[in-house]
Amino acid sequence: MNTVLLSIIESEKEASKLENDAKQQALQILTEARKKASEILEKSLLEGEALSEELLDKARKEAEEESKLQADSKNKALEQIRLKAKERLDIAADYIVERIVK
C-alpha cells in the first residue's frame, strides 16, 4: 500500500512538474509572440513612413513637371502673341508709310 501511495505522490509531482513546464513554455511562447508582433508593427510603421515619403516625393516631382510644362506652354503662347503683334505692327507701319507716300 505504501508503494502505491508513493507511486501516486510521485505521479502527482511529475504531473505538477509537467504542468509548470507547460506554463513556463506557454509564457515563453507568448513573450516571443509579443516580441515578434512588436517587431512586425515597428517594421510596418517604418515601411509605411518610407512609402509615404516616396509617394510625397513622387507627387512633388509630378507637380514640378506639370508646373514646368505649364510654364513652357505659357511661354510658347506669349511668344506666338509677340510674333503676331510684331507682324501686325509691321503691316500697320507699311500701311502708314504707303498712305504717307501716296
Which whole-number Å values give the CA distances from 19 to 13, 16, 26, 55, in the listed order?
10, 5, 10, 53
User: Which residue carries 504717307 as its cell?
Assistant: 100
With 90 as the cut, is the pLDDT of residue 97 above it?
Answer: no
Residue written as grid cell 506554463: 23
Write out the three cell numbers for 57: 516625393
The pLDDT of residue 50 is 95
Question: How far is Cα 25 from Cα 33, in angstroms, rounded to an integer?
Answer: 12
Distance (Å, rounded) from C-alpha 18 to C-alpha 25? 10
Q: Is the pLDDT of residue 102 over 80?
A: no
Angle at 101 between CA 98 and CA 102, to 5 degrees: 85
35-88 pLDDT tens trace = 999 999 999 999 999 999 999 999 999 999 999 999 999 999 999 999 999 999
Query: What's the whole-model pTM score?
Result: 0.53
3-state SS class at 7: helix
pLDDT tens sequence across 3-28: 888 888 899 999 999 999 999 999 99
pLDDT number for residue 100: 85
